[in-house]
Chain A
Amino acid sequence: MPATLKTDVLVIGGGATGAAVAWDCALRGYETVLAERRDLAEGTSGRFHGLLHSGGRYAVKDPNAAVECIEENVILRRIAADCIEDTGGLFVTTPDDDAAYGDSFLEGCAKTGVPTEEIDTAEALRREPRLNPAIKRAFTVPDASIDAWKTVWALAHAARGRGATVLPYHGVVDVLREGDAVVGARLHDEHSGEQVTVEARMVLNASGAWAGQVADMAGIEGVEIIPGKGIMIAMNHRLVNTVINRCTMPADGDILVPIRTVSVIGTTDIRVKDPDEPEITQDEVEQMLDDGERLVPGFRQARAMRVWAGVRPLFQDAKATGSSRDVTRAHTLLDHHERDGVTGFLTITGGKLTTMRLMARDIVDAMCAQLGDDRPCTTDKVVLPGSEDLEPYHISERLKAKEDHLLDDQLVCECEMIPRARLEATMRERDTTNLDDIRRSLRLGMGPCQGGFCIYRATGILHGVEQLDAPQANGSLRNFLEERWKGVWPILYGDQLRQARLDDWIFQGLLDVEHLPQ
């Protein structure tokens, strides 16, 4: 990589929004560089519950957001079919909820264009037999689950296909100014330790919860982002096959999303100071488990596999008080020319994964306006790589692929059904020594055994594919175990504790990873 890159646009932030912005820029013919300080979708985008909103959740409280959601829901199903599973969704009135809200819900959905239908509770229970049998009402909506990592990488691949340069592990250390114009940024290559200067006509800040920090580096004051922490817990299998929402004003612990091989309960909403490494408290875990019990009785007996926290980027409204859930959910575009008299720099923040494409369109439209270019957005029409057949993802896809190669390939990760050839190809393509990067690309080690069996195998394979020396491979293995533990220890009980102890036996008792050469 040359020490200086010249480009039309530098996009800062490799989450869903940043990747969508890079794709939109590249598609409109701009030379584009995307810089992400860690791995793509390692921040908020990779730490959510996996819900592709129908808009039902906002139908009463925030009709504008509901309209955006349902419009984007339809578009994403078309352009990113392979990333989406058409689970459908249900809003259910639990015994603790006011049945009258269902009427407001129906009315809100009608006004905002969210397709819904009230069904018999018996029918809802027939579709989802584990649901609380005491539910009072049930409504169908076109919710779905969306794989954020797959989506972000599809966007990145699409952008690369149009000439964009995508740079994971390149953190911005300084935003460069010439007078009243932003003219680029200095990046730190986290792997080589070297600095890369990017000179750009426009710098687009899509760094989500970190957008205030990036704006600061550009010398722009007052971009206050409130990180709103939410925790989520993945259960080891699909307790439901439909997205289940509580039919009530949006609150904590009111959604259960079946995604890939797991189901995810979410979420809390607590304002935090620092978006990095948000803490998971025991109280939040208890609250999620109790909320899960309300939706699916017996939830506490099921196996909680992993817990994580994400931080929503919520733009500070001067009037905002109290819970960050009351701050606007719709996204915010800051034109720093209008706001601060600084050209060449725009910020997009807030919003949600479902509306990432819309957010990208808005900021790139604003950029075109500033540059005086007439280049309309077409991201709603161009299908992303991998989704060309327009067929939505189906949970049985990996099983089918495995059947096809049963007699000629090895399975490395049994839980997520990852064959060796696929793993090796991904290692080569990612060119990384970090097994956590591979996890995000393939879901390696994300199943019930949490890497107990596959991570040793993957380390051995990585050692060969990437020609690592022993300390590098040991570092990868140790790092994976330590990262995994962060998402495991707050929820260790029941069968998952038993699994964790078996994993301890393997990694410490059998392999003695602790005493490997450093």
Chain B
Amino acid sequence: MTSPGWAAPSYDVLVIGAGLAGLSAAARLAEGGAKVMLIAKGVGATHLGPGTIDVLGYAPDRVERPGEALAGLGGEHPYARLGGADAVARSVDWFKRQFDGGPLGAYGYRGDLGENVLLPTTVGAPKPSAVVPETMAAGDLRDDAPMLVVGFYALRDFHAAYLADNVARGGVPARSLVIEGRVDGRPEANSLGLARAMENADSRAEIVRQVERGLDGAARVGFPAGLGAEDPHGVWTALQEQLGRPVFEVPTLPPSVPGMRVFKTLRARLRERGGRIVLNSEAVLAVRDGIRVEAVRATAAGRQVDYRARWIVLATGGVASGGIALDSHWRARETALGLPVHGVPEPGGPRFGADYFGEHPFSRAGVAVDDGLRPVDGEGVRLLENVLVAGATLAGAQPWKEKSGDGVSLASGHRAAELIMEESR
């Protein structure tokens, strides 16, 4: 970097990353009165995931009570750094409260760390989740009430018959019905297109007419997770009233409408508490003074900006989000601040194995932290005093396998905020 960045105003906290971890940290800090700036390269993984808060689903057997199971994870797991199950529970309670009076009206989440529900995935597999949107709760497969799954021919990312077949195979009576025709006038739609159509009372009435004809004993009705982007509670409630039975959403392939609702809610919370959020701004360099980061240099609209802050929360995500990268010479790096990456196999050693569903040596790579969420080196020595790491950047988890990604992101983002507030006092 030859040219110094343009100096932005100074903040109490700079959060890097707009996924669940970054948004939670930023909104919580703003709530605590801090002057917060959130920068991110783009929207985070909220738009890709199912929108549920999966705290811990497999360890490696299926987990029924996630709160209790957290204690059984090894010391290398990020949950071991997050202040115990109580801190995780606090983050969940905080998360659920963010929806009260938020931009989505009465829409909210249900559940806690007490027990996992089993929601059908897009293929009809039973997935353990701790905290779920109210619009998904009635899909719980621990309940064997017969269900009708409604699909839309135009929605490529949701195949109702296949889903229902697997649910039935798993022991819950399930049938499917596919609504032919176009969504929004197009031959193909994604979940967001469906969500917009569902918010139109006329389209919804026509869908209800078709679904009613196929109800035939179904005690509940599942739809692809696209029951409204602006007013999901209203759409969901209206459908339940019109169909006279519980209605639930099933996640689809991305884009994730439930995930967008989370993004929208937390962003609104951050802003109304005085925080700022700037997207399309990629952190590229830490301006350091010994063991403190004085500023973070980020690209924005063709120039570089130095964001100065007393505290930095690094929540750029893991490999999928670009927070951790591996080059063709097998060198791993943390991309925003250049922190060392922990858990990378030795050069020449295997990084991945031949079995897709097996364990892969590189899978748990990430930034290692101490109990203060500060990055540490291989010996556990703290590298930076004012940088806290949260979310999928953390080493030690295999979130897609464990179904722990949302829980780790929420709890670590929230924990980072708590630690900063405690230490700033």
Contacts and interface: CB of A to CB of B under 8 A. Distances in A.
Q: Is A bound to B?
A: yes
Interface of A: 282, 289, 300-301, 304, 407-412, 420, 453, 456-457, 459-461, 463-464, 469-471, 473-474, 477, 481-482, 484-486, 489-490, 492-494, 497-498, 501-502, 504-506, 508-517
Given A459-B162, A461-B159, A504-B320, 9 more contacts: A410-B188, A470-B168, A485-B356, A494-B326, A494-B327, A498-B320, A498-B325, A505-B400, A517-B166
A482 B355 CA distance: 7
Chain B interface helix/strand/loop/mixed: loop
With most chain A CB atoms within 10 A of its CB, the pick from B45, B122, B157, B399 is B122
A510 B50 contact: yes
Contacts of B54: 509
A461 B253 CA distance: 15
A510 B122 contact: yes
Contacts of A486: 354
Nearest to A481: B356
Nearest to B122: A511
Contact of B253 (A456, A490, A513, A516): A456
A512 B356 contact: no
Contacts of A484: 356
Interface of B: 45, 48-50, 54, 62, 121-127, 154, 156-159, 161-162, 165-166, 168-170, 187-188, 251, 253-254, 318-320, 322, 325-330, 348, 351-357, 360, 399-401, 403, 405
B188 A411 contact: yes
A511 B405 CA distance: 14
With most chain A CB atoms within 10 A of its CB, the pick from B62, B159, B318 is B159
A203 B330 CA distance: 50
B358 to A, nearest CB: 10
A513 B123 contact: yes
B290 to A, nearest CB: 33
Contacts of A420: 156
A482 B358 CA distance: 10
A501 B123 contact: no
A485 B123 CA distance: 20
Contact of B127 (A407, A408, A482, A515): A515
Nearest to A282: B348
Nearest to A471: B169
B154 A410 contact: yes
Nearest to A516: B125
A407 B165 CA distance: 31
A410 B162 contact: no
B400 A407 contact: no
Nearest to A515: B125
Contact of B330 (A474, A493, A504, A508): A493
B127 A512 contact: yes
5 interchain residue pairs of minimum CB distance:
A460-B159, A509-B400, A485-B356, A410-B188, A501-B320
Contacts of B161: 460, 463-464
A493 B362 CA distance: 11
A439 to B, nearest CB: 16
Contact of B162 (A300, A470, A505): A470
Contacts of A460: 158-159, 161-162
19 contacts: A289-B328, A300-B328, A300-B329, A301-B328, A410-B154, A456-B159, A470-B168, A477-B123, A481-B356, A482-B356, A489-B360, A502-B48, A508-B357, A509-B50, A509-B399, A510-B121, A512-B403, A513-B125, A514-B357
B287 to A, nearest CB: 27
Nearest to B178: A464
A473 B165 contact: yes
A277 to B, nearest CB: 10
With most chain A CB atoms within 10 A of its CB, the pick from B54, B251, B322, B354 is B354
A412 B156 contact: yes
B325 A494 contact: yes
Given A457-B156, A494-B326, A494-B327, A489 B123 contact: no
Nearest to A507: B400
Nearest to A290: B328
Nearest to B329: A300
A283 B357 CA distance: 25
A412 B156 CA distance: 7
A3 B269 CA distance: 72
A453 to B, nearest CB: 6
B328 A493 contact: yes
Nearest to B404: A509
B125 A489 contact: no
Contact of A512 (B125, B156, B162, B352): B125
A502 B321 CA distance: 8
A506 B319 CA distance: 14
Contacts of B168: 470
